[in-house]
Amino acid sequence: MIRVKVVGATGYGGVGITELVLQHPEAKLVSLVAREDVGQSIAAVYPHLQGFCDLPVLAADDPRAAEPADVVFFATPDKVGMSAARTELSRGAKVIDYSGDFRFTTVEAYADYATRIGKEPTHASPDLLGRNAYGLAELHRDEIRKTDIVGNPGCFACSCILGLAPAASAQLLAPNSVICDCKTGVSGAGKKMNATYHYPARYEQMNAYKLAGHQHVCEVERELSLQAKADIKVTFTAQVVPVCRGILSTLYGTLTRPTSEADLLALYRDFFKNSPFVRVYGSTVSNIGTLNVRGTNFCNLVVSVDTRVNRLRIVAYIDNLMKGQAGSALQNMNLMFGLPETTGLNHPGIYP
Amino acid sequence: MIRVKVVGATGYGGVGITELVLQHPEAKLVSLVAREDVGQSIAAVYPHLQGFCDLPVLAADDPRAAEPADVVFFATPDKVGMSAARTELSRGAKVIDYSGDFRFTTVEAYADYATRIGKEPTHASPDLLGRNAYGLAELHRDEIRKTDIVGNPGCFACSCILGLAPAASAQLLAPNSVICDCKTGVSGAGKKMNATYHYPARYEQMNAYKLAGHQHVCEVERELSLQAKADIKVTFTAQVVPVCRGILSTLYGTLTRPTSEADLLALYRDFFKNSPFVRVYGSTVSNIGTLNVRGTNFCNLVVSVDTRVNRLRIVAYIDNLMKGQAGSALQNMNLMFGLPETTGLNHPGIYP
Amino acid sequence: MIRVKVVGATGYGGVGITELVLQHPEAKLVSLVAREDVGQSIAAVYPHLQGFCDLPVLAADDPRAAEPADVVFFATPDKVGMSAARTELSRGAKVIDYSGDFRFTTVEAYADYATRIGKEPTHASPDLLGRNAYGLAELHRDEIRKTDIVGNPGCFACSCILGLAPAASAQLLAPNSVICDCKTGVSGAGKKMNATYHYPARYEQMNAYKLAGHQHVCEVERELSLQAKADIKVTFTAQVVPVCRGILSTLYGTLTRPTSEADLLALYRDFFKNSPFVRVYGSTVSNIGTLNVRGTNFCNLVVSVDTRVNRLRIVAYIDNLMKGQAGSALQNMNLMFGLPETTGLNHPGIYP
Amino acid sequence: MIRVKVVGATGYGGVGITELVLQHPEAKLVSLVAREDVGQSIAAVYPHLQGFCDLPVLAADDPRAAEPADVVFFATPDKVGMSAARTELSRGAKVIDYSGDFRFTTVEAYADYATRIGKEPTHASPDLLGRNAYGLAELHRDEIRKTDIVGNPGCFACSCILGLAPAASAQLLAPNSVICDCKTGVSGAGKKMNATYHYPARYEQMNAYKLAGHQHVCEVERELSLQAKADIKVTFTAQVVPVCRGILSTLYGTLTRPTSEADLLALYRDFFKNSPFVRVYGSTVSNIGTLNVRGTNFCNLVVSVDTRVNRLRIVAYIDNLMKGQAGSALQNMNLMFGLPETTGLNHPGIYP
């Protein structure tokens, strides 16, 4: 059994990976660490876990938190994992970090990202950069299998990169033409209270935010540029709507050569033919939306072309807490431990 | 493997049992029958099932629907299962029916129920009555194990009976004092469209309905009277609120003798000590609600006493589509086939 | 023009009365006082007011807050209005307080209430008690017209008292038989953030709370006992559901003498014949719920009788922020200034 | 008093204009016509109107529907108003139609639109085309004042045109670069039931639809091209999210010349300086969204520029049933009758 430690266990990202590990046939939880609710049973914090897990929430410096683990999930904000990873690695654990700390492989790329989110641009463990992999399995499966440090993708980024990578890799995207219009459910902002996510302030509210720039743009541009072998710039709009789970990203780009929807569809299906969690649809599909991927690790992509203006449009749907967070993290764990990537993730969710 | 046939496969009750069987280690689907969407793949009707089940939706008289099954779930309205059960039984299948058709064991009790819901009072298979069991495992475990016909409880009834059975069995409930104030999410009304469940008509709407009498009262009164060995009458109020899944039933009764909350709590915990899906809490518990049982087969009960007027109050929470429907149905299947009753149901759901 | 000052202007109760006064033909705002957002324009805090009101939010001790007003609304928590009222009264203003501070007319009754909500039981202005009126216009119209201090009712209390007063006044309610099962939308808890009202924690959550006792019971029992000329005790359950605005209270009581629904309906209609904001329906009505009173000062009452057990059941619907708060407050202002009580309140709301 | 007749009175568009006229100081309802609920009082269909309007719902051919009116609102689907308008005009009434019937001024433009929505391309009253005006007051105020036939804009179109007209009129939009990414609440689809708007199917569902082309594109392209004096092509994406009221349209276009956000903001504010229902904000604004315009006739616009790629981005917020429908219709009525355009519309809505 893979022994699992979760740091940041009481946030949505932490409880998400906890739920998944509890159902995983080859993994088991050994310790839960967090800054809040220390000393309580996790089942007191999350009563749906009663009868399934009664581990206590430990402070980071609790001796029990040093119990041997084979993998440590850092479901923590920026700047936490980068400092704590070294200790875990030295104890022989692999590390999967949810934040931006290990999404970049050079100090320069990290500094650019950190500056954008208003953080100190220096990385605390520059020597670990380069050894890490970007945890989007569909694009970096082999690197993830070989590394012991994974930076899990941002939730918006995951939907945008999956939605545009096939077109980018076929050099179909005109540079500077790419727009990512992204809508997220409220759980994307986490468990922390915020006046704009107070129920009465949100139930009929949809709005754009961070118009000056969202931190996920860095990884989207990096990944698309890698695929395209060219410099891709993205205009990115983050919006929040009153659903709990779900991201709907509508992605636009001017085609470098006329391409029919049928050809684009074939390209996408071929690109993802070995990716069990990506489903590709043509534009005539109906009843495909966020509710149809909720609670699952799937990404649904709907492909279309506005032929009048030679523009492709991809609509991507994921569950921000699953494929956009804990689901991808578990998929990465599976890869890092030589398991089929669907292990413990192969279920359809519930409807409605 | 237990071979499973689902009749009424395209409704919420049908897709619910389909999802559960797909994850069950000892059961597999062999055929899906419905009146709508005949000829389509179930994954076309419910796209979240794509990659998990591609069985076609069959008409009831399709020869493929006669393929041998070990159990048939009738996720159908009243009057369907009572006629079709005989054929399935004669083929050697066990039958689990979601409607009122097999909740009663005498033609008189059925007639009373049928009259109340405005249906023809004659039962189509009177000879099968008496052989059937009422499918609330917590009260009828042994009978369910021995029978081949189970009438699954009504969703409201399930919450009311679980909430009041311990008090009734201890003769604590004054006759004529019992009130069940029940609130359900909209999925309780099923997949069929209805003007009052159109999103804009419902999102800020909560209301009582069927004030003249709800059909679930019959089984609540029967079961509580059985427990109490006395005639219990219930005032029942059905209300619908804008959630998808969830029942919150607040249950009141005058105590026949002064009883402290501590004593009541002990009574309840003892009553359910062998029931893995019932959790009992005292009144000081917080953050226990419908969201904490969503997607699961659990029933959370919160026990309290208004000592000033000598009245008990039990708050019961279930997922109407799970413990209130498909979950109980699978629990019954487990019992009927000699499996642990938690098989395929032992998961905590996801949060949030 | 009636000059209006609002204290606690930035909460939901404050913005509610602000919206109403802006549309009132005989009143105008002169100052807005609050503890948060001081110095900002109210339109910066509530952008929907842009172009309608640009008054600054003032600290309580700002000299501009002492500008003469004819009426002061205290949309403030317990213990604020009782201390500040005297100064406003001495300046010649009338006072309408939203909290429990002026709902009781004796120090003993206040102490009982304060103890129940865990507050210091001493009233800061005992000499003002007795001079004040309870601000439920339908029962205390004449007293409100004559006083200069009104204690606005609690939102739950408003629905319960309106729903049961006719039966109580006709001595139809058996003592100790009354149950108030109350469900509120989330706005009832105000603007202050709370982990249980964070959108993801609430969107599919319904739950009971304060099972040990809700503070509104005091005024419900007092008012019903006054009507009944007997001691009425109430079992009260507070529940919160994921709607923004709306209270649905289901009220039960054993009848002291057999009464048909028709007779009860006649009694209720007669009782409220001079109350323009109360609508009474029989149990066969459909499509009456919280959405049908949202944004308005109406209370919809649905009357029914469970003849089998001789129990009445009244379903009461209000908008907790209107009839349950700011709407009643304005209705009281109208009465105190000799205006028709519907002035500025006579609109149907919008649908859906 | 302006005598008002509403055709299609029982849909959301009909009840919306009914609510507005009931509060309008210079107008009164004389007759309500619809195909459903004929013979009932409108207050039976919409109980919130009880006490405000007891007009019966009339069939179109009921003699009482021919009672003289000064203005007739056709809150009806395509193809109804174009046939019925002539009779109303001949009786001396002005006509305001919600559908596409009078949004175009030539038979060719109409045919193009009708073809796109799968309707017969022939206009039933070609002689009336040219006499009509497009009912977006902010761009066509003078024409609306002079005509007696107005085609009210589509809800999405209203948000897109207001959001891009200033840039188009300043020739800032590169042809073929314009993208309208539009999200609507469910009420935009009207009162008619639909499986995808059944509450359980929608509450956590967001999705794109009509990817092959939405009918509102025609008017958006026509209006922007008129402003730009050039041929503007638009890629349009319609999306529906689980809110009731509200449109959030995110509008993108490549700038023909570098323009700062400050300059763009100045341009927009100047363009709308005489338009009381348009508010313009810079990108640093926060807490501006659909909830802040709900129930009102306002359009909130947030202006920003992605300088890296020289692209403008406008975020437009309206209430689809107000500025996107009944509100604009009443604004048009005011203009046609020489009243200030804000008459009966000058209120901020309620929050939350």
User: pLDDT (tens digit, 9 = 90+) per residue, A81-107?
Assistant: 999 999 999 999 999 999 999 999 999
pLDDT confidence band for A332 (50 / 70 / 90): very high
Going by C-beta distance under 8 Å and a sequence separation of 6 or more, which residues neighbour residue C331? Answer: C137, C277, C297, C341, C342, C345
pLDDT confidence band for A215 (50 / 70 / 90): confident
Give me the residue from B22, B49, B348 closest to A48, CB to CB: B348
d(CA D318, CA D251): 14
Farthest-apart Cα atoms in chain C, separation: 64
Look at the alpha carbons of B7, B12, B16, B19 in this order and tell me if their dihedral is positive or negative.
Answer: positive
Q: Establish how many alpha carbons lie within 13 A of residue A132's alpha carbon, considering only the half-sphere containing its beta carbon.
A: 31
- Measured between beta carbons, which residues in chain A are less than 8 angstroms from residue D283? 211-212
Cβ–Cβ under 8 Å, residues A50 and A24: no
d(CA C15, CA B290): 32
C281 at interface of B, judged by CB pairs closer than 8 A: no
pLDDT over 90 at B122, yes or no: yes
Cα dihedral: D200, D206, D209, D214 (round 10): 120
Cβ–Cβ under 8 Å, residues A126 and A104: no
Give me the residue from C15, C47, C349 closest to D48, CB to CB: C349
Average pLDDT score, chain C:
97
- CA-nearest of B9, B17, B8, B4 to B324 is B17
- Three-class DSSP category at A58: strand
Going by C-beta distance under 8 Å and a sequence separation of 6 or more, which residues neighbour residue D190? Answer: D11, D12, D13
pLDDT at B26: 98
Residues of C with active-site annotation:
155
**B191–D200: do the CB atoms touch at under 8 Å?**
yes
D288 at interface of C, judged by CB pairs closer than 8 A: yes
- Measured between beta carbons, which residues in chain C are less than 8 angstroms from residue A201? 191
Displacement of CA C184 from its chain's centroid (Å)? 13
Q: Which of D45, D48, D345, D346 to mutate to test the interface with C (most CBs of C within 10 A)?
A: D48
- Three-class DSSP category at D72: strand
d(CA C149, CA C131): 7
pLDDT confidence band for B346 (50 / 70 / 90): very high
**C295–D350: do the CB atoms touch at under 8 Å?**
yes
A198 at interface of C, judged by CB pairs closer than 8 A: yes
- Tokens 């009445």 locate to C312
d(CA B282, CA B305): 10
**B348–A51: do the CB atoms touch at under 8 Å?**
yes
pLDDT over 90 at C107, yes or no: yes
**D47–C288: do the CB atoms touch at under 8 Å?**
yes
Question: At A52, phi and psi to the nearest 5?
Answer: -110, -35
Above pLDDT 90, what percent of chain C? 97
**A348–B22: do the CB atoms touch at under 8 Å?**
yes
DSSP letters of A282-344?
ETT--S-SGGGTTTSS-EEEEEEEETTTTEEEEEEEE-TTIIIIIHHHHHHHHHHTT--TTTT
- Measured between beta carbons, which residues in chain B are less than 8 angstroms from residue C116? none
Helices vs strands, H then E, count in chain A: 10, 14
- Three-class DSSP category at B172: coil
d(CA A145, CA D269): 55
Question: At B145, phi and psi to the nearest 5?
Answer: -60, -30
- Per-residue pLDDT, averaged over D27-32, amounts to 98
- Measured between beta carbons, which residues in chain D are less than 8 angstroms from residue A208? 248, 250, 302, 315
Encode pLDDT of C151-165 as tens digits.
999 999 999 999 999
- CA-nearest of D233, D235, D253 to A312 is D235
Encode pLDDT of B298-338 as tens digits.
999 999 999 999 999 999 999 999 999 999 999 999 999 99
Q: Where are the alpha helices (DSSP H) in D137-179?
A: 137-146, 155-169
Q: Is D26 left (phi over 0), alpha (psi -120 to 50) or beta?
A: alpha
- Per-residue pLDDT, averaged over D16-38, amounts to 98
Encode pLDDT of A248-288 as tens digits.
999 999 999 999 999 999 999 999 999 999 999 999 998 89
Q: How far is C96 from chain A (nearest CA, A)?
A: 25
Going by C-beta distance under 8 Å and a sequence separation of 6 or more, which residues neighbour residue B90? Answer: none
pLDDT over 90 at C215, yes or no: no
Give me the residue from C185, C187, C200 closest to A244, CB to CB: C200
**What is the ipTM score, two decimals?**
0.97
Encode pLDDT of C299-330 as tens digits.
999 999 999 999 999 999 999 999 999 999 99
More confident residue, C141 or A175: C141
B-D contacts at Cβ under 8 angstroms: 53
> Amino acid identity, residue B125?
S
Cβ–Cβ under 8 Å, residues B151 and B226: no
- Running DSSP on this structure, what letter comes out for residue A111? H
Average pLDDT score, chain B:
97
- CA-nearest of B339, B332, B4, B344 to A347 is B344
Q: How far is B126 from chain A (nearest CA, A)?
A: 35
Encode pLDDT of A317-331 as tens digits.
999 999 999 999 999
pLDDT at C287: 82
pLDDT at D44: 96
Going by C-beta distance under 8 Å and a sequence separation of 6 or more, which residues neighbour residue B36? Answer: B10, B57
Q: Is D58 left (phi over 0), alpha (psi -120 to 50) or beta?
A: beta
- Measured between beta carbons, which residues in chain C are less than 8 angstroms from residue B312? none
**A198–C191: do the CB atoms touch at under 8 Å?**
yes
- Measured between beta carbons, which residues in chain B are less than 8 angstroms from residue A12? 352
Encode pLDDT of D280-339 as tens digits.
999 999 889 999 999 999 999 999 999 999 999 999 999 999 999 999 999 999 999 999
pLDDT at B286: 85
- Per-residue pLDDT, averaged over C183-196, amounts to 97
Burial class (CB in 10 A: 0-12, 13-18, 19+), C347: middle
pLDDT over 90 at D212, yes or no: no
Q: How far is D209 from chain A (nearest CA, A)?
A: 7
pLDDT over 90 at D266, yes or no: yes
d(CA C54, CA C51): 7
d(CA A117, CA A119): 6
Q: How far is D201 from chain A (nearest CA, A)?
A: 6
pLDDT confidence band for A243 (50 / 70 / 90): very high
Above pLDDT 90, what percent of chain A? 97
What chains are in contact with D, requiring at least 3 Cβ pairs below 8 Å? A, B, C
Give me the residue from A203, A233, A245 closest to D204, CB to CB: A245
pLDDT confidence band for B88 (50 / 70 / 90): very high
Burial class (CB in 10 A: 0-12, 13-18, 19+), A89: middle
Residues of D with active-site annotation:
155
- CA-nearest of D60, D2, D67, D72 to D33 is D60
pLDDT over 90 at B92, yes or no: yes
- Measured between beta carbons, which residues in chain A are less than 8 angstroms from residue C191? 198, 200-201
Q: How far is C330 from chain B (nearest CA, A)?
A: 24
Q: How far is CA D16 from CA C322, D6, D12, D326, in A?
A: 21, 10, 6, 6
pLDDT over 90 at B95, yes or no: yes
Give me the residue from A212, A287, A290 closest to D206, CB to CB: A290
- Measured between beta carbons, which residues in chain D are less than 8 angstroms from residue B202? 199
Q: Output helix, strand, coil percentages for chain B, rounded to the nearest 5.
A: 35, 20, 40
Cβ–Cβ under 8 Å, residues A7 and A29: no
User: Could you tell me the two tokens for C122?
Assistant: 């001493």
pLDDT over 90 at C278, yes or no: yes
**C198–A195: do the CB atoms touch at under 8 Å?**
no
| Contact residues, B window 97-136, toward C, CB-based 8 Å cutoff | none
Above pLDDT 70, what percent of chain B? 100
Encode pLDDT of B50-76 as tens digits.
999 999 999 999 999 999 999 999 999
d(CA A57, CA A192): 17
Q: How far is D1 from chain A (nearest CA, A)?
A: 36
Cβ–Cβ under 8 Å, residues C39 and C105: no
- Running DSSP on this structure, what letter comes out for residue B329? H
| Contact residues, D window 32-51, toward C, CB-based 8 Å cutoff | 46-51
pLDDT at A251: 98
